[in-house]
Structure 1
Amino acid sequence: MKGEILYQKIAKTIAWQIKTGIWKPGDKLPSLRTISREYGTSLNTAIQAYYELEKEGFILASPKSGYFVNYKPLHLSAPTTTQPRIKYAAEENNDLISEVYRTIEDLSITRLSLGVPEDILLPIAKLNKELVRAMRSLPGSGTRYEDTQGSPKLRKYIARFTYNWNGLLSEDDIVTTSGASHAVSLALSATTQKGDTIAVESPVYFGLLQLANSMGLRVIELPTNPVTGVEPDALKKVLPQIKACILISNFSNPIGSCMPEEHKKAVVKMLADHHIPLIEDDLYGDVFFGNSRPSPCKAFDEEGLVLWCCSVSKTLAPGYRVGWIAPGKFKKEVLRQKNITLISTPPLNQETIANFMENDRYENHLRKLRQELHANSLHFVQSIIDYFPEETRIIHPQGGFMMWVELDKKVDTTKLYYQAMQQKISIAPGRMFTLQDQFNNCMRLSYGHQWTPILEERLKTLGEIIKKSM
Structure 2
Amino acid sequence: MDILYRKLADELASLINAGGFQSGDRLPGVRNQAQLRGLSIATVITAYRQLEDWGLLEVRNRSGFYVKAKPAVAAAPPRIVVTTMRPAPVTGQDMVLQLIKAANDPAVVQLGAAVPAAEFLPTRAIEQALTKAARQYRVRTANYEFSPGAPELRRHLSRRLADAGCAVHPDNLVITNGCQEALTLALRAVTSPGDVVAIESPTFYGLLQVIESLGLEALEIPTNPHSGMSLEALELALSRWPVKACVVTPNFSNPLGCLMPDAHKQKLVAMLKARDIPLIEDDIYGDLSFSHARPSLLKGLDDNVILCSSISKTLSPGLRVGWIAPGRYQDKVEYMKYVLNLATTTIPQLAVTELLENGQYERHLRRVRGDYAQAVTRMTEAVIHYFPEGTKISRPEGGFVIWLELPGDVDSFALARKALAQGISIAPGPIFSASQKYRQFTRLSCACVWSSRIERALVSLAGLL
Instruction: Tell me, yes or no, whether TM beats 0.5.
Output: yes
Deviations 1:306-358 (A, max 9, x none): 00011111112212211111111111211121122122222222122112221
Percent of pairs with identical residues: 34
Instruction: Map 1:146-165 to 2 at 5 A.
Output: 146-165=145-164
Deviations 1:100-126 (A, max 9, x none): 222332112111112121122222233
Supply the distance in 2 between the matched residues of 1:127 and 1:40 (Cα, whole angstroms).
41
Supply the distance in 1 between the matched residues of 2:6 and 2:202 (Cα, whole angstroms).
50
**Long gaps (5+) in structure 1:** none
Count of aligned pairs between the two proteins = 461
Check whether the contact 2:250–2:260 (CA below 8 A) recurs between aligned residues: yes
Change (3 A) 1:128 1:6: closer
Supply the distance in 2 between the matched residues of 1:130 and 1:289 (Cα, whole angstroms).
27
Change (3 A) 1:55 1:125: closer
Check whether the contact 1:198–1:218 (CA below 8 A) recurs between aligned residues: yes
Structure 2 residue matching 1:349: 3-state secondary structure? helix
Change (3 A) 1:57 1:441: farther
Structure 1 residue matching 2:331: 3-state secondary structure? helix
Change (3 A) 1:244 1:8: same
Deviations 1:276-315 (A, max 9, x none): 11111110101111131001211111xx320001111111
Structure 2 residue matching 1:449: 3-state secondary structure? coil
Change (3 A) 1:89 1:56: farther
Report the counterpart of residue 431 of structure 2 in structure 1. 432
Report the counterpart of residue 348 of structure 1 in structure 2. 347
Change (3 A) 1:447 1:91: same
Report the counterpart of residue 265 of structure 2 in structure 1. 264
Deviations 1:40-80 (A, max 9, x none): 98877776666565445455444423231432255311222
Report the counterpart of residue 234 of structure 1 in structure 2. 233
Report the counterpart of residue 284 of structure 2 in structure 1. 283
Check whether the contact 1:24–1:382 (CA below 8 A) recurs between aligned residues: no
Change (3 A) 1:389 1:194: same
Structure 2 residue matching 1:405: 3-state secondary structure? strand
Change (3 A) 1:75 1:104: closer
Deviations 1:128-176 (A, max 9, x none): 2322332334363522223321111111111112133122112111111
Supply the distance in 2 between the matched residues of 1:307 and 1:349 (Cα, whole angstroms).
23
Deviates further, 321-330 or 404-413: 404-413
Deviations 1:191-235 (A, max 9, x none): 111111010101111111111011111111111111211111111
Supply the distance in 2 between the matched residues of 1:393 and 1:38 (Cα, whole angstroms).
46
Instruction: Map 1:61-100 to 2 at 5 A.
Output: 61-63=59-61, 64-100=63-99
Report the counterpart of residue 177 of structure 1 in structure 2. 176
Change (3 A) 1:3 1:146: closer
Supply the distance in 2 between the matched residues of 1:101 and 1:160 (Cα, whole angstroms).
34
Supply the distance in 1 between the matched residues of 2:138 and 2:23 (Cα, whole angstroms).
50
Supply the distance in 1 between the matched residues of 2:274 and 2:169 (Cα, whole angstroms).
26
Corresponding position: 1:465 with 2:464: no
Q: Which amino acid aligns with 1:135?
A: A
Change (3 A) 1:409 1:437: farther
Corresponding position: 1:220 with 2:216: no
Structure 1 residue matching 2:364: 3-state secondary structure? helix
Supply the distance in 1 between the matched residues of 2:265 and 2:26 (Cα, whole angstroms).
35
Report the counterpart of residue 448 of structure 2 in structure 1. 449
Structure 2 residue matching 1:223: 3-state secondary structure? strand
Superposed displacement of residue 24, structure 1 = 5.4
Check whether the contact 1:6–1:45 (CA below 8 A) recurs between aligned residues: no
Q: Which amino acid aligns with 1:228?
A: S
Check whether the contact 1:244–1:278 (CA below 8 A) recurs between aligned residues: yes
Report the counterpart of residue 208 of structure 1 in structure 2. 207
Change (3 A) 1:28 1:415: farther
Report the counterpart of residue 195 of structure 2 in structure 1. 196
Q: Which amino acid aligns with 1:89?
A: A
Supply the distance in 2 between the matched residues of 1:328 and 1:219 (Cα, whole angstroms).
23
Check whether the contact 1:32–1:46 (CA below 8 A) recurs between aligned residues: yes
Instruction: Map 1:27-38 to 2 at 5 A.
Output: none
Report the counterpart of residue 249 of structure 2 in structure 1. 248
Deviates further, 186-195 or 390-399: 390-399
Change (3 A) 1:13 1:131: closer
Deviations 1:229-250 (A, max 9, x none): 1111111112242110001111
Structure 1 residue matching 2:286: 3-state secondary structure? coil
Change (3 A) 1:115 1:192: same
Deviates further, 269-278 or 58-67: 58-67
Structure 2 residue matching 1:103: 3-state secondary structure? helix
Check whether the contact 1:82–1:223 (CA below 8 A) recurs between aligned residues: yes
Report the counterpart of residue 111 of structure 1 in structure 2. 110
Supply the distance in 2 between the matched residues of 1:298 and 1:381 (Cα, whole angstroms).
32
Supply the distance in 1 between the matched residues of 2:435 and 2:395 (Cα, whole angstroms).
26
Check whether the contact 1:27–1:375 (CA below 8 A) recurs between aligned residues: no
Change (3 A) 1:62 1:359: closer
**Long gaps (5+) in structure 2:** none
Supply the distance in 2 between the matched residues of 1:158 and 1:383 (Cα, whole angstroms).
38
Deviations 1:249-273 (A, max 9, x none): 1111111111111111111111111
Deviates further, 163-172 or 62-71: 62-71
Check whether the contact 2:69–2:370 (CA below 8 A) recurs between aligned residues: no
Report the counterpart of residue 423 of structure 1 in structure 2. 422
Check whether the contact 2:223–2:230 (CA below 8 A) recurs between aligned residues: yes
Supply the distance in 2 between the matched residues of 1:94 and 1:359 (Cα, whole angstroms).
41
What TM-score comes out, normalization by structure 2 length?
A: 0.90
Report the counterpart of residue 370 of structure 1 in structure 2. 369
Report the counterpart of residue 275 of structure 2 in structure 1. 274
Superposed displacement of residue 464, structure 1 = 4.4
Structure 2 residue matching 1:250: 3-state secondary structure? coil
Structure 2 residue matching 1:198: 3-state secondary structure? strand
Structure 2 residue matching 1:102: 3-state secondary structure? helix
Check whether the contact 2:73–2:381 (CA below 8 A) recurs between aligned residues: no
Structure 1 residue matching 2:289: 3-state secondary structure? coil
Supply the distance in 2 between the matched residues of 1:122 and 1:86 (Cα, whole angstroms).
40
Deviates further, 271-280 or 3-12: 3-12
Check whether the contact 1:286–1:366 (CA below 8 A) recurs between aligned residues: yes
Change (3 A) 1:2 1:119: closer
Q: Which amino acid aligns with 1:118?
A: A
Check whether the contact 1:202–1:433 (CA below 8 A) recurs between aligned residues: yes
